[in-house]
Amino acid sequence: MANQVQLSITHCPMIASGIAADMAGLDQSLDRDNGLLDYARLRRTTVQAWSPFQKGFFDGVFIGDRDNYRELNAVLDEWAAKYEVTPTGIAVAWITRHPANMQVVLGTTNPGRVAESAAGSELPLTREEWYRLFRAAGHTLP
């Protein structure tokens, strides 16, 4: 019914590898999960994203980390202002806007952050907005 995997804008190899498929020499092009996302969509398995705000494997939160993710935070701020939510809401929207109908597994114990996250969960980010976040996080869009 569901497969719970690590997924955030900054850690998304299962999405990013397909976007840069078959590009020799580009690390992003490597398939690290044997087509997990394609399989889930074909079998209608719900992908659940854990660590939705973490830079990598429990490396801390990318939201507000302007030293390491300056461009990403600028775009998060821009779409947050446009949609009148917080950057946390936009980080959730990036996951829920994906056509695989993913669910976001929050780790917060802060009720305010739960509300901010829920506010972003049904935002109709445009494709351009989604891909700008993707590129601002450092991924390649060929």
Ligand X SMILES: NC(=O)c1ccc[n+]([C@@H]2O[C@H](COP(=O)([O-])OP(=O)(O)OC[C@H]3O[C@@H](n4cnc5c(N)ncnc54)[C@H](OP(=O)(O)O)[C@@H]3O)[C@@H](O)[C@H]2O)c1
Binding of ligand X by 54 (CB under 6 A): yes
Backbone conformation region of residue 22, classed left if phi is above 0, alpha if psi is from -120 to 50, else beta: left
Binding of ligand X by 17 (CB under 6 A): no
CB 72 within 8 A of CB 133: yes
Sign of CA dihedral 57, 116, 101, 138: negative
Site mask, ligand X, residues 66-105, x = CB under 6 A? ----------------------x----------------x
Using CA atoms, how far apart are residues 65 and 73, in angstroms rounded to an integer? 7
Q: Which of 29, 45, 108, 121 binds ligand X (CB under 6 A)?
A: 108
Using CA atoms, how far apart are residues 135 and 141, in angstroms rounded to an integer? 7
Binding of ligand X by 41 (CB under 6 A): no
Q: Which of 61, 72, 75, 93 binds ligand X (CB under 6 A)?
A: 61
Segment lying near ligand X (by CB under 6 A), choices 70-78, 109-117, 123-131, 133-141 = 109-117
Least spacing, CB of residue 35 vs ligand X, in Å: 19
